[in-house]
Amino acid sequence: MSLIYDWLFIAVWMAFAAYWLISARWVKKTKQAEPRRQMLIRLALSVAGTWLLFAPGLHLGPLNWRLLPQNKITFFTGAGVLLAGLGFAVWARIHLGQYWSGMITLKEGHRLIRTGPYAVVRHPIYTGIITGIAGTAVAVGELRGLVAVLMYTAIYFCKSRREERLLTPEFGEEYPAYRRAVGALAPASGPARTMFWLAAATVAVLLVIGSRAER
């Protein structure tokens, strides 16, 4: 069990990163990309957020304040959220295929994808990664994890807004119609919205149980 506690989250994130790097080889050529300065700022903030998540043993003052106890319930709840989030991101990445890019870009022959996970949210990869980070933060249980979640949420919210400003002229009225129908990072309506809030409520209940179990 000690191996699971020590290595599960790191192994899952490393496998996710490896898949991301390998699959990046099969994408369409870029037609238009974001300014390099924006990309570098986002990369720096992402590195800082990742460091906060995987920095055990460092004395970070208030960032080390414990918000959740470390026990089996909080650990496996966090692991479940992590796997669900990254699984959703991988599904979206596979569904997007050659149109994926780690930067804000337009690809040659770019077309608007509205099926699969893109019928649930407009930016399912971002949603999945934020969810995975939230699951990791639950297992960490310290304030630094919550700060990392907020940082990544801000990063992907800003990235999604810039991305949509690039896509709207490309697709004309089709994209504003898509925005009205589908939420950006969370489901806006329908069965997906109900399932999302049921899942969130289930996680919240498990965390309450985990907190009480510690006492």
What is the reported pLDDT for 81?
97
Query: Residue 20 domain-assigned?
Result: no
Query: Residue 31 domain-assigned?
Result: no
Query: Residue 84 domain-assigned?
Result: yes
Mean pLDDT (whole number) for 58-70? 86
* Mean pLDDT, the chain, whole residue set: 85
Domain of 138, CATH number, reads: 1.20.120.1630
Q: Look up residue 189 and give its amino acid.
A: S
- Kindly report, residue by residue over 108-145, the tens digit of the pLDDT: 556 778 888 999 999 999 999 999 999 999 999 999 99
C-alpha 73/C-alpha 207 separation (Å) is 7
CA-nearest of 61, 51, 47, 79 to 155 is 47
Reported pTM: 0.89
Question: Is a pLDDT exceeding 60 seen at residue 28?
Answer: no
Polymer length in residues for the chain: 215
What is the three-state SS of 13-75? Answer: HHHHHHHHHHHCCCCCCEEEECCHHHHHHHHHHHHHHHHHHCCCCCCCHHHHCECCCCCHHHH
Residues 6+ apart with CB under 8 A from 185: 121, 122, 123, 126, 127, 130, 153, 156, 157, 160
The pair of three-digit structure tokens given for residue 4, joined into one six-digit string:
């699971």
| 51-60, 100-109, 190-199: the lowest-pLDDT one | 100-109
**Can you give the residue range of the structural domain that contains 139?**
68-215
- Kindly report, residue by residue over 143-174, the tens digit of the pLDDT: 999 999 999 999 999 988 888 887 787 777 88
Query: Residue 34 domain-assigned?
Result: no
Query: Residue 92 domain-assigned?
Result: yes
What is the reported pLDDT for 109?
53
Instruction: List strand residue ranges (DSSP E) for the chain, in order.
Output: 30-33, 105-107
Output the CA torsion 156→160→166→168 (10° steps).
Answer: 180
Question: How far is Cα of residue 185 from the mean position of the Cα atoms in its chain?
Answer: 9
pLDDT more than 90, % of the chain: 47
Query: Residue 183 domain-assigned?
Result: yes
| Bridge partners of residue 66, in order along the sequence | 142
Query: Residue 82 domain-assigned?
Result: yes
What is the reported pLDDT for 103?
58
The total number of structural domains in the chain stands at: 1
- Kindly report, residue by residue over 176-202, the tens digit of the pLDDT: 888 888 999 999 888 989 999 999 999
Query: Residue 50 domain-assigned?
Result: no
